[in-house]
C-alpha cells in the first residue's frame, strides 16, 4: 500500500475548489486552528476550507447578530472540512482571523519533488508521440499520486506511441484506480492487435500473433 505523505495530501487538498454557499466565492485552504472555538474539540483535519471574503453575507450579517444576542464583538465564517459535503459556521473574533493561515501552494509544490516530476511528464506528453518518447507516459501511468485525468490522457497515448515495450512496465504495476487499469488493459490488447502480436500466457513475452510455439519458452498454442 502506498502511504500518501503529508505534503502530497496538503497539495492535493489545496488544489480543490469549493465555493461558499453564502457568497459563491472560492473557499481558502487554511491551517486548522488547534481547537474548535465552539466546543473545544479538534477539527479532525489539519486543513480546512474557509470563506475569507469580508463581503460574504454570513460574515457581514453575523456581527450584528452576535452583538444583539451575546453583546460581544464576533462574527462567523463559513468552514468546510475536507471530504465533507456541507460546512458550518465558525465563530471568529476579528476579520483577520485565519487570514495569515492560508496554505502556501507554491511552497508545498517546491517541497514536492514528485509533483515537479508529474508536471514535467505532463508537459512532455504534448510531443511524446512525435519524439517516440514512451517515458513520460509510463511515468504518469505508474505514478499513483498523479492527476487521474492526466493519467487517462497518458493511457490513450499508448495507442499512438505503438511501442510494445510499454507492456512490461504496465503489467508489473499495481493500479489502485480500476478505471485506469481497465483502460490500460484494453489499450494493451488493442496495441497487440495492431502490432500483430500476442502475449505468451506461459512466460508473458510478446511474440508474433501467428506463432504456434513461443520462441522464449516453447509453449505450444493449440
Ligand atoms: Zn462566503
Ligand atoms: Zn512463452
Final residue of a structural domain among 81, 105, 129: 105
Assess if residue 222 is contained within a domain.
no
Least confident of 67-71, 108-112, 140-144: 108-112
Task: Assign 211 to helix, strand or coil.
Answer: coil
Those residues whose beta carbon sits under 5 angstroms from the ion ligand 1 are 20, 22-23, 51, 53, 56
Stretch 40-52: mean pLDDT: 80
Given a cut of 70, is residue 36 above it in pLDDT? no
Q: Does 94 share its domain with 73?
A: yes
Proximal ligand: closest to the CA of 90? 1
Average pLDDT over residues 163-171: 94
| Grid cell locating 197 | 502480436
Domain hosting residue 61, numbered range: 6-105
- Residues 56, 77 contacting (CB under 8 angstroms): yes
In a domain, 218, yes or no: no
Same domain, 100 and 157: no
- The string of pLDDT tens digits covering residues 4-27 is 577 878 888 888 999 999 999 999
Q: How far is the CA of 197 from the centre of ligand 2 (A)?
A: 13
Residue 179 pLDDT level (bands cut at 50, 70, 90):
very high
Give 126-159 pLDDT, tens digit per residue.
999 999 999 999 999 999 989 999 999 999 999 9
42 CA to centre of ligand 1 in angstroms: 23
Q: Is 47 helix (H, G, I), strand (E, B) or coil?
A: strand
Q: In what order do the strands lie in the sheet with 88-92?
A: 28-31, 47-50, 75-80, 88-92
Same structural domain for residues 22 and 67? yes
How much is the average pLDDT of 87-110? 88
d(CA 44, ligand 1 centre) in Å: 22
Within a domain: 187? yes
Task: Give the total number of structural domains in the chain.
Answer: 2
Mean pLDDT of the chain, nearest integer: 90
pTM: 0.58
Of 105, 130, 165, which residue is a domain's last? 105
114's grid cell = 514528485
| pLDDT of residue 105 exceeding 60 | yes
Ligand nearest to the CA of 204: 2
Q: What is the DSSP string of 193-205?
A: HHTTEEE-TTT--
Sorted by sequence, the CB contacts under 8 Å of residue 150 that are 6+ apart come out as 118, 122, 125, 140
Same domain, 58 and 100: yes
Q: Identify the pLDDT of residue 131.
A: 97
Last residue of a domain, one of 105, 123, 153: 105
Amino acid at each position: 500500500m502506498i502511504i500518501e505523505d503529508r505534503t502530497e495530501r496538503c497539495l492535493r487538498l489545496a488544489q480543490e475548489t469549493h465555493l461558499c454557499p453564502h457568497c459563491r466565492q472560492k473557499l481558502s485552504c487554511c491551517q486548522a486552528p488547534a481547537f474548535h472555538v465552539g466546543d473545544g474539540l479538534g477539527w479532525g483535519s489539519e486543513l480546512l476550507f474557509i470563506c475569507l471574503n469580508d463581503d460574504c453575507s454570513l460574515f457581514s450579517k453575523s456581527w450584528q447578530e452576535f452583538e444583539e444576542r451575546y453583546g460581544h464583538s464576533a462574527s462567523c465564517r463559513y468552514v468546510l472540512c475536507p471530504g465533507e459535503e456541507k460546512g458550518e459556521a465558525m465563530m471568529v473574533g476579528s476579520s483577520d482571523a485565519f487570514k495569515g493561515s492560508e496554505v502556501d501552494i507554491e511552497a508545498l509544490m517546491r517541497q514536492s519533488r514528485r509533483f515537479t516530476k508529474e508536471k514535467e511528464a505532463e508537459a512532455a506528453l504534448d510531443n511524446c508521440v512525435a519524439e517516440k518518447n514512451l517515458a513520460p507516459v509510463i511515468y504518469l501511468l505508474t505514478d499513483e499520486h498523479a492527476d487521474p485525468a492526466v493519467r487517462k490522457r497518458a493511457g490513450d497515448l499508448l495507442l499512438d506511441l505503438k511501442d510494445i515495450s510499454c507492456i512490461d512496465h504496465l503489467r508489473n504495476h499495481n493500479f489502485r484506480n480500476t478505471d485506469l487499469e481497465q483502460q490500460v488493459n484494453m489499450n494493451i490488447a488493442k496495441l497487440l492487435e495492431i502490432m500483430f502480436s500476442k502475449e505468451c500466457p506461459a512466460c508473458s513475452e510478446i511474440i508474433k500473433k501467428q506463432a504456434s510455439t513461443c520462441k522464449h519458452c516453447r509453449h505450444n498454442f493449440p
